[in-house]
Structure 1
Amino acid sequence: VDMESSSSSGSEMSVTSSTSKNDDTTNDNEHPNWRTLPSSDATTPYERMRLSNPKYVLREWMLVEAYRRASRGDENMIFELLDLVSDPYGEGSEDYDEKYFRRAPDEALTAGGTAFMS
């Protein structure tokens, strides 16, 4: 970027760039151009979506319940959640689907915290 003063007082400036905003070849290694990123091996839109979006995402209601149980000495849910997020794009078990691939419980939706704000 070159900046030049167009008046003797210096109150007006002209800014020119050596590269065009539409130049697809101007990138560095840290910020690759999204237009040239390699496509995935997924062939269907469903497969691409599944590979791009995790099935399991930790939610506040899950963590609150895990903390509550752990404070009473039952750490099983903490280890379940750890297992769950170790493979967030996986299909998981039927048990995990039933427990964690669902809406928050109604009581969590009316409680204070981040669930209350969404």
Structure 2
Amino acid sequence: MGGNEGAVDRLRRFLHRNGPLQLVLVLAFWLAGQVLVMLTRIPVPGGVVGMLVVLLLLATKHLSILSVRRGAEWLIRDMVLFFVPAALAVLDHRELMGIVGLKVFAVIVCSTLVVMCVTGLTVDLSCRRP
């Protein structure tokens, strides 16, 4: 039994130091969420289900934050690459750099604030409901 625990500890330490393997683990949780959604036909994105599973495992201490930290940091650090097409679209439409762009920006900011406020009020009212 003692040799088995040593192997588990070595594997755990290897995972804690290996960013690409952690990225694969995060993607595996996403894929598991996708499969679960397809099997159960629940109307929630698979990525959300996968991340809820990760949250549950982290909360119950069945998964260490060190096991996914580097992989998640890599995704967050390089997330700007996912938004490059949107930035290029703005450059193609020069009118967005003037007053039209300011109007669009104002609508985006106001609508985001409204959504955040309504969501906060809904959650608050739901929590107060007996």
Give the TM bin, normalised by the shorter chain: under 0.3
Higher-Rg member (1/2): 1
Higher relative contact order (CA 8 A, sep 6+): 2
TM-score (norm 1): 0.23
User: Which structure features the higher share of strand residues?
Assistant: 1
